[in-house]
Amino acid sequence: MQADIVIVGAGSAGCLLANRLSADSRRQVLLIEAGGEDDWIWIKIPVGYLFAIANPRTDWCFKTEPDPGLNGRSIHYARGRVIGGSSSINAMIYMRGQASDYDRWVQATGDDRWGWPEALATYRSMEDYFGGASPWHGVGGEMRVESPRVRWEILDAWRQAAAEQGIAPIEEFNRGDNSGCAYFHVTQRRGIRWSMADAFLHPVRHRPNLKVITKSQVLRLITAPITAETAQQRRYSESAWANAAHEVVGLEILCEGSKQRISVRDQVILSAGAVSSPHLLQASGVGPAAVLSAVGVPIVHDLAGVGENLQDHLQIRTVYQVTNCATVNTLYRNPLTRIGMALQYAFLRSGPMTMPPSTLGAFAKSRPDCATPDLEWHVQPLSLPKFGEPLHRFNAITPSVCNLRPSSRGFIRLTHPDPMASPKIMCNYLSTEEDLQTAVAGLRWTRQIMQSQALASYRPTEILPGSSIQTEADLMNAARDLGTTIFHPVATCAMGRVDSRGQAADPMTVLDTDCRLRGVARLRVVDASAMPTITSGNTNAPVMLIAEQIARRMLAEMA
Protein backbone atom coordinates (compact mmCIF):
# COMPACT_ATOMS: atom_id res chain seq x y z
CA MET A 1 0.00 0.00 0.00
CA GLN A 2 1.16 3.53 -0.78
CA ALA A 3 -0.10 7.04 -0.10
CA ASP A 4 1.09 10.62 -0.39
CA ILE A 5 0.10 11.47 3.16
CA VAL A 6 -0.49 8.97 5.95
CA ILE A 7 -2.36 10.10 9.07
CA VAL A 8 -2.01 7.82 12.10
CA GLY A 9 -5.15 7.90 14.28
CA ALA A 10 -8.71 8.85 13.30
CA GLY A 11 -9.29 10.81 16.50
CA SER A 12 -10.19 14.46 16.97
CA ALA A 13 -7.20 15.85 15.06
CA GLY A 14 -6.92 12.99 12.55
CA CYS A 15 -10.53 13.38 11.34
CA LEU A 16 -10.06 17.07 10.59
CA LEU A 17 -6.71 16.52 8.87
CA ALA A 18 -8.16 13.75 6.69
CA ASN A 19 -10.93 16.11 5.61
CA ARG A 20 -8.72 19.08 4.79
CA LEU A 21 -5.78 17.23 3.21
CA SER A 22 -7.96 15.08 0.94
CA ALA A 23 -9.86 18.08 -0.42
CA ASP A 24 -7.50 18.13 -3.44
CA SER A 25 -8.27 14.94 -5.35
CA ARG A 26 -4.71 14.73 -6.71
CA ARG A 27 -3.39 13.83 -3.25
CA GLN A 28 -3.81 10.28 -1.92
CA VAL A 29 -4.51 10.32 1.81
CA LEU A 30 -4.52 7.25 4.03
CA LEU A 31 -6.02 7.40 7.53
CA ILE A 32 -5.16 4.49 9.82
CA GLU A 33 -7.14 3.78 13.00
CA ALA A 34 -6.41 1.10 15.58
CA GLY A 35 -10.02 0.94 16.79
CA GLY A 36 -13.21 0.02 14.96
CA GLU A 37 -16.13 1.93 13.46
CA ASP A 38 -18.16 4.37 15.59
CA ASP A 39 -21.51 2.76 14.81
CA TRP A 40 -22.38 1.73 18.39
CA ILE A 41 -25.54 3.34 19.77
CA TRP A 42 -23.89 4.29 23.08
CA ILE A 43 -21.44 6.48 21.19
CA LYS A 44 -24.32 8.45 19.66
CA ILE A 45 -26.53 8.78 22.77
CA PRO A 46 -24.69 11.26 24.99
CA VAL A 47 -25.23 9.45 28.28
CA GLY A 48 -23.53 6.40 26.70
CA TYR A 49 -20.32 8.10 27.82
CA LEU A 50 -20.78 6.13 31.03
CA PHE A 51 -20.67 2.83 29.09
CA ALA A 52 -17.96 3.73 26.57
CA ILE A 53 -15.35 4.64 29.17
CA ALA A 54 -13.42 1.63 30.50
CA ASN A 55 -14.88 -0.50 27.70
CA PRO A 56 -12.23 -2.11 25.46
CA ARG A 57 -14.59 -1.72 22.51
CA THR A 58 -14.00 2.04 22.56
CA ASP A 59 -11.23 2.75 25.10
CA TRP A 60 -7.54 1.85 25.17
CA CYS A 61 -8.09 1.21 28.90
CA PHE A 62 -4.66 2.51 29.91
CA LYS A 63 -3.67 2.55 33.59
CA THR A 64 -1.32 5.06 35.17
CA GLU A 65 1.62 4.02 37.32
CA PRO A 66 0.92 4.05 41.05
CA ASP A 67 1.29 7.76 41.78
CA PRO A 68 2.73 9.02 45.08
CA GLY A 69 0.68 12.19 44.50
CA LEU A 70 -2.49 10.08 44.66
CA ASN A 71 -1.39 8.20 47.76
CA GLY A 72 -0.01 5.43 45.57
CA ARG A 73 -3.16 4.90 43.50
CA SER A 74 -3.06 3.85 39.86
CA ILE A 75 -6.00 5.27 37.90
CA HIS A 76 -7.88 4.39 34.73
CA TYR A 77 -6.63 6.60 31.90
CA ALA A 78 -9.34 6.57 29.22
CA ARG A 79 -8.38 7.31 25.59
CA GLY A 80 -10.73 6.71 22.67
CA ARG A 81 -9.90 3.72 20.49
CA VAL A 82 -12.49 4.00 17.75
CA ILE A 83 -13.24 6.20 14.74
CA GLY A 84 -13.50 9.71 16.23
CA GLY A 85 -10.96 8.79 18.94
CA SER A 86 -11.54 10.47 22.27
CA SER A 87 -14.20 12.73 20.71
CA SER A 88 -16.36 9.59 20.41
CA ILE A 89 -16.22 8.92 24.15
CA ASN A 90 -15.68 12.35 25.66
CA ALA A 91 -18.06 14.47 27.69
CA MET A 92 -18.75 16.77 24.70
CA ILE A 93 -18.01 20.01 26.58
CA TYR A 94 -17.06 22.73 24.12
CA MET A 95 -14.37 24.90 25.69
CA ARG A 96 -11.79 27.04 23.92
CA GLY A 97 -9.70 27.97 26.95
CA GLN A 98 -8.61 31.48 27.88
CA ALA A 99 -7.00 34.13 25.66
CA SER A 100 -3.92 34.05 27.93
CA ASP A 101 -3.39 30.34 27.13
CA TYR A 102 -2.67 31.36 23.57
CA ASP A 103 -0.31 34.15 24.73
CA ARG A 104 1.68 31.37 26.41
CA TRP A 105 1.77 29.43 23.14
CA VAL A 106 3.02 32.53 21.31
CA GLN A 107 5.71 32.93 23.94
CA ALA A 108 6.74 29.26 23.69
CA THR A 109 6.89 29.18 19.90
CA GLY A 110 7.70 32.79 19.00
CA ASP A 111 4.85 32.53 16.49
CA ASP A 112 2.07 35.14 16.66
CA ARG A 113 -0.20 32.95 14.60
CA TRP A 114 -0.97 30.93 17.77
CA GLY A 115 -2.32 34.08 19.46
CA TRP A 116 -5.93 34.58 20.58
CA PRO A 117 -7.03 36.82 17.65
CA GLU A 118 -6.16 34.12 15.11
CA ALA A 119 -7.46 31.37 17.41
CA LEU A 120 -10.81 33.13 17.74
CA ALA A 121 -11.09 33.59 13.97
CA THR A 122 -10.24 29.91 13.44
CA TYR A 123 -12.77 28.73 16.04
CA ARG A 124 -15.47 30.86 14.42
CA SER A 125 -14.66 29.41 11.00
CA MET A 126 -14.99 25.80 12.22
CA GLU A 127 -18.22 26.31 14.18
CA ASP A 128 -21.89 25.89 13.56
CA TYR A 129 -23.15 27.65 16.68
CA PHE A 130 -26.76 27.23 17.76
CA GLY A 131 -27.06 30.90 18.74
CA GLY A 132 -26.14 32.24 15.29
CA ALA A 133 -23.18 34.26 14.09
CA SER A 134 -21.69 36.97 16.31
CA PRO A 135 -18.23 38.40 16.97
CA TRP A 136 -17.72 35.34 19.23
CA HIS A 137 -19.24 32.58 17.17
CA GLY A 138 -19.58 31.30 13.63
CA VAL A 139 -22.17 29.35 11.67
CA GLY A 140 -21.88 27.00 8.73
CA GLY A 141 -18.71 25.26 9.96
CA GLU A 142 -18.51 21.53 10.64
CA MET A 143 -18.41 21.62 14.47
CA ARG A 144 -21.98 21.82 15.72
CA VAL A 145 -22.17 23.47 19.13
CA GLU A 146 -25.44 23.43 21.06
CA SER A 147 -26.92 24.43 24.35
CA PRO A 148 -27.69 21.57 26.78
CA ARG A 149 -31.18 20.06 26.54
CA VAL A 150 -31.68 19.42 30.22
CA ARG A 151 -31.73 21.63 33.28
CA TRP A 152 -31.60 20.64 36.93
CA GLU A 153 -33.14 22.56 39.77
CA ILE A 154 -30.25 21.61 42.03
CA LEU A 155 -27.72 22.94 39.51
CA ASP A 156 -29.64 26.20 39.11
CA ALA A 157 -29.41 26.50 42.89
CA TRP A 158 -25.66 25.71 42.77
CA ARG A 159 -25.27 28.54 40.27
CA GLN A 160 -26.98 30.94 42.68
CA ALA A 161 -24.83 29.61 45.50
CA ALA A 162 -21.69 30.26 43.42
CA ALA A 163 -22.95 33.82 42.84
CA GLU A 164 -23.24 34.28 46.63
CA GLN A 165 -19.56 33.33 46.80
CA GLY A 166 -18.48 35.80 44.12
CA ILE A 167 -18.67 33.63 40.97
CA ALA A 168 -21.12 35.53 38.79
CA PRO A 169 -23.60 33.77 36.51
CA ILE A 170 -22.60 34.39 32.88
CA GLU A 171 -24.23 33.63 29.54
CA GLU A 172 -21.46 31.43 28.20
CA PHE A 173 -17.78 30.58 28.37
CA ASN A 174 -15.51 30.76 25.29
CA ARG A 175 -15.01 34.51 24.98
CA GLY A 176 -11.43 34.47 26.13
CA ASP A 177 -11.99 35.15 29.84
CA ASN A 178 -13.89 32.34 31.49
CA SER A 179 -14.65 33.91 34.90
CA GLY A 180 -18.15 32.95 36.01
CA CYS A 181 -20.69 30.17 36.09
CA ALA A 182 -22.78 28.80 33.18
CA TYR A 183 -24.19 25.64 31.69
CA PHE A 184 -21.58 24.10 29.39
CA HIS A 185 -22.18 24.21 25.65
CA VAL A 186 -21.76 20.87 23.95
CA THR A 187 -20.69 19.32 20.64
CA GLN A 188 -24.06 17.74 19.87
CA ARG A 189 -26.61 17.92 17.07
CA ARG A 190 -30.23 17.75 18.21
CA GLY A 191 -29.38 15.75 21.32
CA ILE A 192 -26.98 13.34 19.61
CA ARG A 193 -23.19 13.32 20.09
CA TRP A 194 -21.49 15.19 17.28
CA SER A 195 -18.00 13.70 17.37
CA MET A 196 -15.14 15.03 15.30
CA ALA A 197 -15.73 12.04 12.97
CA ASP A 198 -19.35 13.16 12.48
CA ALA A 199 -18.13 16.68 11.85
CA PHE A 200 -15.13 16.11 9.61
CA LEU A 201 -14.66 12.50 8.52
CA HIS A 202 -18.03 10.92 7.69
CA PRO A 203 -19.08 13.71 5.29
CA VAL A 204 -15.97 13.08 3.11
CA ARG A 205 -15.43 9.33 3.44
CA HIS A 206 -16.71 8.82 -0.11
CA ARG A 207 -13.76 10.71 -1.61
CA PRO A 208 -11.86 8.29 -3.90
CA ASN A 209 -8.52 9.74 -2.81
CA LEU A 210 -9.22 9.16 0.91
CA LYS A 211 -8.76 5.66 2.25
CA VAL A 212 -9.63 4.85 5.86
CA ILE A 213 -8.54 1.59 7.41
CA THR A 214 -9.78 0.54 10.84
CA LYS A 215 -8.69 -2.13 13.33
CA SER A 216 -5.13 -1.54 12.16
CA GLN A 217 -2.53 -0.52 14.68
CA VAL A 218 0.59 1.27 13.50
CA LEU A 219 3.51 -0.55 15.11
CA ARG A 220 6.38 1.67 14.07
CA LEU A 221 7.62 4.25 11.63
CA ILE A 222 10.12 3.15 9.03
CA THR A 223 12.95 5.63 8.65
CA ALA A 224 15.94 5.89 6.30
CA PRO A 225 19.09 8.03 6.38
CA ILE A 226 18.83 11.21 4.31
CA THR A 227 21.43 11.43 1.59
CA ALA A 228 22.64 14.74 0.15
CA GLU A 229 20.71 13.91 -2.99
CA THR A 230 17.35 13.23 -1.28
CA ALA A 231 17.78 16.31 0.89
CA GLN A 232 18.20 18.49 -2.16
CA GLN A 233 15.34 16.92 -4.06
CA ARG A 234 12.95 17.48 -1.21
CA ARG A 235 14.13 20.97 -0.19
CA TYR A 236 14.43 20.21 3.52
CA SER A 237 15.21 23.77 4.39
CA GLU A 238 12.26 24.06 6.80
CA SER A 239 13.55 24.76 10.27
CA ALA A 240 12.86 21.52 12.12
CA TRP A 241 14.04 19.34 9.26
CA ALA A 242 17.05 21.48 8.26
CA ASN A 243 19.71 19.18 9.65
CA ALA A 244 17.74 15.96 9.87
CA ALA A 245 19.80 12.82 9.41
CA HIS A 246 16.76 10.60 8.86
CA GLU A 247 13.44 10.79 7.09
CA VAL A 248 10.27 8.74 7.35
CA VAL A 249 9.64 6.53 4.34
CA GLY A 250 6.81 4.33 5.58
CA LEU A 251 5.11 2.49 8.41
CA GLU A 252 4.56 -1.00 9.66
CA ILE A 253 1.01 -1.86 10.69
CA LEU A 254 -0.75 -4.82 12.25
CA CYS A 255 -3.95 -5.47 10.34
CA GLU A 256 -6.14 -8.54 10.87
CA GLY A 257 -3.28 -10.35 12.58
CA SER A 258 -0.70 -9.78 9.87
CA LYS A 259 2.05 -7.21 9.58
CA GLN A 260 2.03 -4.99 6.50
CA ARG A 261 4.23 -2.20 5.19
CA ILE A 262 2.96 1.07 3.86
CA SER A 263 5.17 3.43 1.92
CA VAL A 264 4.67 7.15 2.01
CA ARG A 265 5.53 9.52 -0.81
CA ASP A 266 5.24 12.83 1.02
CA GLN A 267 4.82 12.74 4.81
CA VAL A 268 3.44 11.01 7.88
CA ILE A 269 1.32 12.84 10.46
CA LEU A 270 0.99 11.29 13.90
CA SER A 271 -2.42 12.09 15.38
CA ALA A 272 -2.49 9.16 17.78
CA GLY A 273 -3.02 11.36 20.85
CA ALA A 274 -0.89 12.51 23.77
CA VAL A 275 -0.23 8.97 25.03
CA SER A 276 0.17 7.02 21.79
CA SER A 277 2.01 9.54 19.58
CA PRO A 278 5.09 9.73 21.85
CA HIS A 279 4.84 5.99 22.50
CA LEU A 280 4.90 5.26 18.78
CA LEU A 281 7.85 7.60 18.27
CA GLN A 282 9.80 5.87 21.03
CA ALA A 283 8.92 2.44 19.63
CA SER A 284 10.38 3.71 16.33
CA GLY A 285 13.67 4.81 17.91
CA VAL A 286 12.84 8.52 18.22
CA GLY A 287 12.98 9.77 21.79
CA PRO A 288 15.24 10.18 24.84
CA ALA A 289 18.29 7.94 24.31
CA ALA A 290 18.20 6.66 27.90
CA VAL A 291 14.56 5.54 27.59
CA LEU A 292 15.21 3.78 24.27
CA SER A 293 18.42 2.11 25.44
CA ALA A 294 16.74 0.84 28.62
CA VAL A 295 14.38 -1.28 26.51
CA GLY A 296 16.86 -2.10 23.75
CA VAL A 297 15.26 -0.12 20.92
CA PRO A 298 17.90 1.03 18.38
CA ILE A 299 18.23 4.82 18.47
CA VAL A 300 17.30 6.58 15.25
CA HIS A 301 17.17 10.07 16.74
CA ASP A 302 17.86 11.10 20.33
CA LEU A 303 15.20 13.69 21.19
CA ALA A 304 14.89 14.38 24.90
CA GLY A 305 11.37 15.84 24.98
CA VAL A 306 9.46 12.96 23.37
CA GLY A 307 6.99 11.73 26.01
CA GLU A 308 8.15 14.21 28.66
CA ASN A 309 6.34 17.35 29.86
CA LEU A 310 3.00 15.50 30.35
CA GLN A 311 0.36 17.89 31.70
CA ASP A 312 -3.14 16.96 32.75
CA HIS A 313 -6.06 18.33 34.77
CA LEU A 314 -6.64 16.52 38.05
CA GLN A 315 -10.26 16.76 39.20
CA ILE A 316 -11.03 16.47 42.88
CA ARG A 317 -14.47 14.93 43.10
CA THR A 318 -16.41 15.92 46.20
CA VAL A 319 -19.80 14.31 46.86
CA TYR A 320 -22.74 15.94 48.65
CA GLN A 321 -25.93 14.14 49.61
CA VAL A 322 -28.98 16.33 48.93
CA THR A 323 -32.75 16.18 49.58
CA ASN A 324 -35.90 17.78 48.09
CA CYS A 325 -34.71 17.55 44.47
CA ALA A 326 -34.12 15.11 41.63
CA THR A 327 -30.68 13.82 40.68
CA VAL A 328 -29.69 11.12 38.20
CA ASN A 329 -28.96 8.75 41.11
CA THR A 330 -32.62 8.58 42.12
CA LEU A 331 -34.15 8.97 38.65
CA TYR A 332 -32.09 6.09 37.34
CA ARG A 333 -32.92 3.78 40.24
CA ASN A 334 -36.67 4.14 39.86
CA PRO A 335 -37.95 1.99 36.92
CA LEU A 336 -40.77 4.44 36.12
CA THR A 337 -38.61 7.54 35.91
CA ARG A 338 -36.03 5.52 33.99
CA ILE A 339 -38.66 4.66 31.36
CA GLY A 340 -39.70 8.33 31.39
CA MET A 341 -36.13 9.41 30.63
CA ALA A 342 -35.93 6.92 27.73
CA LEU A 343 -39.25 8.13 26.27
CA GLN A 344 -38.26 11.76 26.67
CA TYR A 345 -35.09 11.02 24.73
CA ALA A 346 -36.79 8.91 22.05
CA PHE A 347 -39.54 11.44 21.30
CA LEU A 348 -38.08 14.80 22.22
CA ARG A 349 -34.30 14.26 22.16
CA SER A 350 -34.12 15.99 25.51
CA GLY A 351 -33.74 15.14 29.18
CA PRO A 352 -31.02 13.38 31.18
CA MET A 353 -30.01 11.02 28.33
CA THR A 354 -28.70 14.02 26.35
CA MET A 355 -26.49 14.93 29.21
CA PRO A 356 -22.73 14.99 29.38
CA PRO A 357 -22.20 14.01 33.05
CA SER A 358 -20.90 17.48 33.83
CA THR A 359 -23.61 19.95 32.99
CA LEU A 360 -22.80 23.09 34.90
CA GLY A 361 -19.38 24.76 34.95
CA ALA A 362 -17.67 27.53 36.87
CA PHE A 363 -14.30 29.27 36.68
CA ALA A 364 -12.61 31.36 39.38
CA LYS A 365 -9.21 32.38 40.74
CA SER A 366 -7.79 30.36 43.63
CA ARG A 367 -5.80 33.42 44.79
CA PRO A 368 -6.39 37.13 44.24
CA ASP A 369 -3.00 37.46 42.54
CA CYS A 370 -3.88 34.98 39.77
CA ALA A 371 -4.14 36.89 36.49
CA THR A 372 -6.99 34.71 35.20
CA PRO A 373 -9.13 31.90 36.66
CA ASP A 374 -7.11 28.82 37.56
CA LEU A 375 -9.97 26.72 38.95
CA GLU A 376 -12.72 24.99 36.97
CA TRP A 377 -15.70 23.22 38.52
CA HIS A 378 -17.64 20.51 36.72
CA VAL A 379 -20.87 20.02 38.62
CA GLN A 380 -22.69 16.75 38.06
CA PRO A 381 -26.26 16.00 39.19
CA LEU A 382 -25.15 12.47 40.06
CA SER A 383 -22.49 10.63 42.04
CA LEU A 384 -20.66 7.38 41.72
CA PRO A 385 -17.66 5.80 43.42
CA LYS A 386 -15.69 5.60 40.13
CA PHE A 387 -16.35 5.72 36.36
CA GLY A 388 -17.65 2.34 35.28
CA GLU A 389 -19.21 1.66 38.71
CA PRO A 390 -22.94 1.98 39.56
CA LEU A 391 -24.36 5.28 40.79
CA HIS A 392 -24.66 5.77 44.55
CA ARG A 393 -27.98 4.62 46.03
CA PHE A 394 -28.55 7.96 47.74
CA ASN A 395 -29.49 11.31 46.18
CA ALA A 396 -26.30 13.30 45.58
CA ILE A 397 -24.35 15.70 43.40
CA THR A 398 -20.66 15.84 42.53
CA PRO A 399 -19.03 19.26 42.44
CA SER A 400 -15.58 18.42 41.09
CA VAL A 401 -12.86 21.07 41.06
CA CYS A 402 -9.63 21.10 39.06
CA ASN A 403 -6.48 23.18 38.82
CA LEU A 404 -6.36 24.48 35.26
CA ARG A 405 -2.64 25.25 35.08
CA PRO A 406 -0.83 22.63 37.12
CA SER A 407 2.93 22.88 37.55
CA SER A 408 3.32 19.10 38.06
CA ARG A 409 4.80 17.31 35.06
CA GLY A 410 4.68 13.63 34.15
CA PHE A 411 5.83 11.43 31.28
CA ILE A 412 4.96 8.66 28.83
CA ARG A 413 7.72 6.04 28.39
CA LEU A 414 8.19 2.90 26.41
CA THR A 415 8.62 -0.08 28.74
CA HIS A 416 8.96 -2.87 26.24
CA PRO A 417 10.34 -3.12 22.69
CA ASP A 418 6.99 -4.63 21.62
CA PRO A 419 4.87 -1.62 20.50
CA MET A 420 1.70 -3.52 21.43
CA ALA A 421 2.65 -3.27 25.12
CA SER A 422 1.14 -0.24 26.90
CA PRO A 423 3.55 2.57 27.75
CA LYS A 424 4.34 3.66 31.27
CA ILE A 425 2.10 6.64 32.14
CA MET A 426 3.36 8.60 35.11
CA CYS A 427 1.38 11.75 35.82
CA ASN A 428 3.16 12.92 38.99
CA TYR A 429 -0.01 14.67 40.10
CA LEU A 430 0.22 17.08 43.05
CA SER A 431 3.99 16.84 43.04
CA THR A 432 4.49 20.57 43.63
CA GLU A 433 3.59 22.64 46.67
CA GLU A 434 1.80 25.09 44.37
CA ASP A 435 -0.52 22.39 43.04
CA LEU A 436 -1.28 21.16 46.56
CA GLN A 437 -2.16 24.70 47.67
CA THR A 438 -4.45 25.14 44.66
CA ALA A 439 -6.16 21.84 45.46
CA VAL A 440 -6.80 22.96 49.05
CA ALA A 441 -8.14 26.32 47.86
CA GLY A 442 -10.48 24.52 45.45
CA LEU A 443 -11.80 22.21 48.17
CA ARG A 444 -12.36 25.09 50.58
CA TRP A 445 -14.18 27.13 47.99
CA THR A 446 -16.40 24.17 47.05
CA ARG A 447 -17.39 23.90 50.72
CA GLN A 448 -18.27 27.58 50.91
CA ILE A 449 -20.50 27.26 47.85
CA MET A 450 -22.21 24.20 49.30
CA GLN A 451 -22.85 26.06 52.56
CA SER A 452 -24.51 29.01 50.80
CA GLN A 453 -28.08 30.11 51.40
CA ALA A 454 -29.22 29.17 47.89
CA LEU A 455 -28.55 25.49 48.64
CA ALA A 456 -29.83 25.42 52.23
CA SER A 457 -33.26 24.00 51.37
CA TYR A 458 -31.57 20.93 49.82
CA ARG A 459 -29.80 20.26 53.15
CA PRO A 460 -26.45 19.24 51.60
CA THR A 461 -24.39 16.77 53.64
CA GLU A 462 -20.75 16.41 52.74
CA ILE A 463 -20.00 12.75 52.03
CA LEU A 464 -16.57 13.29 50.43
CA PRO A 465 -14.12 14.38 51.63
CA GLY A 466 -16.28 14.60 54.82
CA SER A 467 -16.73 17.39 57.32
CA SER A 468 -14.11 15.97 59.71
CA ILE A 469 -11.42 16.87 57.13
CA GLN A 470 -10.46 20.41 58.15
CA THR A 471 -6.74 21.07 58.47
CA GLU A 472 -4.60 21.97 55.48
CA ALA A 473 -2.71 18.69 55.79
CA ASP A 474 -5.97 16.72 55.89
CA LEU A 475 -7.31 18.56 52.84
CA MET A 476 -4.08 17.88 50.93
CA ASN A 477 -4.42 14.24 51.80
CA ALA A 478 -8.08 14.27 50.72
CA ALA A 479 -7.02 15.73 47.35
CA ARG A 480 -4.61 12.80 46.97
CA ASP A 481 -7.39 10.34 47.87
CA LEU A 482 -10.12 11.83 45.68
CA GLY A 483 -8.18 13.20 42.71
CA THR A 484 -8.57 11.59 39.32
CA THR A 485 -7.94 12.61 35.74
CA ILE A 486 -10.44 14.66 33.80
CA PHE A 487 -8.87 13.11 30.69
CA HIS A 488 -6.84 16.04 29.34
CA PRO A 489 -3.28 14.75 28.79
CA VAL A 490 -1.32 17.10 26.52
CA ALA A 491 2.15 18.46 25.66
CA THR A 492 4.10 15.19 25.36
CA CYS A 493 5.62 16.30 22.03
CA ALA A 494 5.58 20.02 22.69
CA MET A 495 6.01 22.72 20.06
CA GLY A 496 8.69 25.33 20.70
CA ARG A 497 11.08 27.80 19.11
CA VAL A 498 13.30 26.23 16.47
CA ASP A 499 15.78 28.25 14.42
CA SER A 500 16.60 27.89 10.73
CA ARG A 501 19.37 25.36 11.54
CA GLY A 502 16.96 23.12 13.41
CA GLN A 503 18.27 24.18 16.84
CA ALA A 504 15.71 24.62 19.63
CA ALA A 505 15.94 27.27 22.32
CA ASP A 506 14.67 24.65 24.80
CA PRO A 507 16.17 21.14 24.42
CA MET A 508 12.80 19.62 25.43
CA THR A 509 11.17 21.05 22.30
CA VAL A 510 9.97 18.26 20.02
CA LEU A 511 8.14 20.14 17.28
CA ASP A 512 8.61 23.41 15.51
CA THR A 513 5.70 25.81 15.31
CA ASP A 514 4.37 24.00 12.22
CA CYS A 515 4.34 20.68 14.13
CA ARG A 516 7.33 19.28 12.19
CA LEU A 517 9.31 16.84 14.29
CA ARG A 518 12.75 18.23 15.04
CA GLY A 519 15.44 16.10 13.41
CA VAL A 520 13.34 13.54 11.47
CA ALA A 521 12.16 14.79 8.10
CA ARG A 522 8.70 14.20 6.62
CA LEU A 523 7.22 13.64 10.05
CA ARG A 524 4.75 15.76 12.01
CA VAL A 525 2.80 15.29 15.21
CA VAL A 526 -0.56 17.04 15.12
CA ASP A 527 -2.74 16.29 18.14
CA ALA A 528 -2.97 17.09 21.87
CA SER A 529 0.74 16.20 22.27
CA ALA A 530 1.74 19.32 20.35
CA MET A 531 0.47 21.87 22.90
CA PRO A 532 3.36 23.70 24.55
CA THR A 533 1.26 24.15 27.71
CA ILE A 534 -2.15 22.92 28.76
CA THR A 535 -5.09 25.21 28.08
CA SER A 536 -7.23 26.46 30.96
CA GLY A 537 -10.23 24.30 30.16
CA ASN A 538 -11.30 21.13 28.37
CA THR A 539 -8.96 20.24 25.55
CA ASN A 540 -10.92 19.02 22.53
CA ALA A 541 -11.55 22.41 20.91
CA PRO A 542 -7.88 23.49 21.27
CA VAL A 543 -6.84 20.20 19.59
CA MET A 544 -9.14 21.07 16.68
CA LEU A 545 -7.58 24.51 16.51
CA ILE A 546 -4.10 22.99 16.19
CA ALA A 547 -5.27 20.55 13.50
CA GLU A 548 -7.05 23.26 11.51
CA GLN A 549 -4.17 25.69 11.62
CA ILE A 550 -1.60 23.06 10.65
CA ALA A 551 -3.81 21.77 7.82
CA ARG A 552 -4.03 25.30 6.44
CA ARG A 553 -0.27 25.76 6.66
CA MET A 554 0.39 22.40 4.98
CA LEU A 555 -2.03 23.21 2.16
CA ALA A 556 -0.28 26.54 1.65
CA GLU A 557 3.12 24.78 1.55
CA MET A 558 1.87 22.20 -0.94
CA ALA A 559 0.13 24.71 -3.22
Considering beta carbons, is residue 143 or 157 the nearer one to ligand FAD? Answer: 143
- The region that residue 238 occupies, defined by phi over 0 for left and psi between -120 and 50 for alpha, beta otherwise, is beta
Question: Residues 481, 203: contact at Cβ < 8 Å?
Answer: no
Q: Which stretch binds ligand FAD (CB under 6 A): 28-36, 40-48, 99-107, 517-525?
A: 28-36
Instruction: Identify the active-site residue in 301, 313, 378, 488.
Output: 488
Close Cβ partners of 553 (under 8 Å, ≥ 6 residues apart): 514
Least distance from ligand FAD to the Cβ atom of residue 482, Å = 18
Candidates 91-99, 323-331, 462-470, 475-483: pick the segment binding ligand FAD (CB under 6 A).
91-99
C-beta of 96 vs 246, nearer to ligand FAD: 96
**CB-nearer residue toward ligand FAD: 239 or 529:** 529
CA 555 to chain centre: 25
Name the phi and psi angles at 517, rounded to 5.
-75, 130
Q: Where are the beta strands (DSSP E) in 371-448?
A: 375-380, 396-403, 411-413, 424-426
Residue 198 DSSP label:
I
Q: Is 413 helix (H, G, I), strand (E, B) or coil?
A: strand
When CB distances to ligand FAD are compared, the closest residue is 11
Q: What is the four-CA torsion angle of 303, 308, 309, 311, rounded to 10 degrees?
A: 140
Q: How far apart are CA 360 and CA 355, in angstroms?
A: 11
Q: Of residues 284, 492, 535, 539, which one binds ligand FAD by CB under 6 A?
A: 539
* Using rule CB under 6 A, residue 81 touches ligand FAD: yes
Binders of ligand FAD among 297-356, rule CB under 6 A? 356
By C-alpha distance, which of 144, 94, 97 is closest to 119? 97
Smallest gap from Cβ 404 to ligand FAD, in A, equals 13
Residue 301 annotated among the catalytic residues of the structure:
no
Residue 20 found at the interface with ligand FAD (CB under 6 A): no
Determine, following the binding rule CB under 6 A, whether residue 85 of this chain makes contact with ligand FAD.
yes
* DSSP assignments along 253-266, one per residue: EEETTEEEEEEEEE
Q: Indicate which single residue of 3, 75, 78, 316 sits in contact with ligand FAD (rule: CB under 6 A).
A: 78
Footprint of ligand FAD on 490-529 (CB under 6 A): 527-528
Nearer to ligand FAD, 442 or 542 (CB): 542
Q: Among the candidate windows 37-45, 78-86, 409-417, 461-469, which touches ligand FAD by CB under 6 A?
A: 78-86
Alpha helices in 320-395 (DSSP H): 328-333, 335-348
- 232, burial (CB in 10 Å: exposed 0-12, middle 13-18, buried 19+): exposed
CA dist 487 and 79 (Å) reads: 8
Count of residues that interact with ligand FAD, criterion CB under 6 A: 43
Taking CB under 6 A as the binding criterion, the range among 4-12, 290-298, 437-445, 513-521 that sits at the site for ligand FAD is 4-12
Kindly write out the interface string for residues 432-471 of this chain, putting x where it contacts ligand FAD by CB under 6 A and - elsewhere: ----------------------------------------
489 close to 272: Cβ distance less than 8 angstroms? no
Nearer to ligand FAD, 157 or 219 (CB): 219
Chain positions contacting ligand FAD, by CB under 6 A: 8-14, 32-35, 53, 78-81, 85-87, 89-93, 95, 217-218, 271-274, 276, 280, 356, 487-488, 527-528, 538-541, 543
